[in-house]
Amino acid sequence: MAAVVYALDQVSKFLVVEFLEHEEPLTVVPGALVLTVIRNAGAAFSIGTGMTIVFTMIALAVVVAIVRTARKLHSLPWAITLGLLLGGAVGNLTDRIFRWPAPFQGHVVDFIQVFPVTRFPVFNLADSGIVCGGVLAVFLAWRGYQIDGTRQTDEPVEDHTQDHAQDHAEGEAGKQAGEPAGERADG
């Protein structure tokens, strides 16, 4: 999943930089979808434009954390979630490391603008992977799905081992006393 998100992000960025940068925005669906290339020095929604190096270090830490967490992974939904997050993080991190103006201070290529009249921020496919992965992570955590493949529920798990052990002991006592199982007077 991470490789797919990363590849789609990098190919789409290459294409829009090659064919759309320095051009008029391309309206794909009037009023709903416009492709317009911007370079984002900050985080999501262009927050913290002067802190590019900090965001690069944070992205590196996130990538390392996801890779380390993946060792405990035994859940397909969490594999998809972490793949979306990792692919998106590495996609934007690649821009930060290799794009203009300098290594580890590069500006991220954003180009997707939805519903332009709302002034919703321009984003890219890596951002979409991160957002979808984040939403899916919240949903999985809310539903109790664990990374190790188990599911935590709010209902306490009933421990029938004590009851089974007691029934077994009573059955054994009945056999020793010569009574058929299930026909004891007290049980």
Question: Which sequence positions are flagged as catalytic?
Answer: 110, 127
Rounded-to-integer distance, Cα 38 and Cα 51, Å: 17
CB 70 within 8 A of CB 82: yes
Strand order in the sheet with 33-40: 26-29, 33-40, 108-114
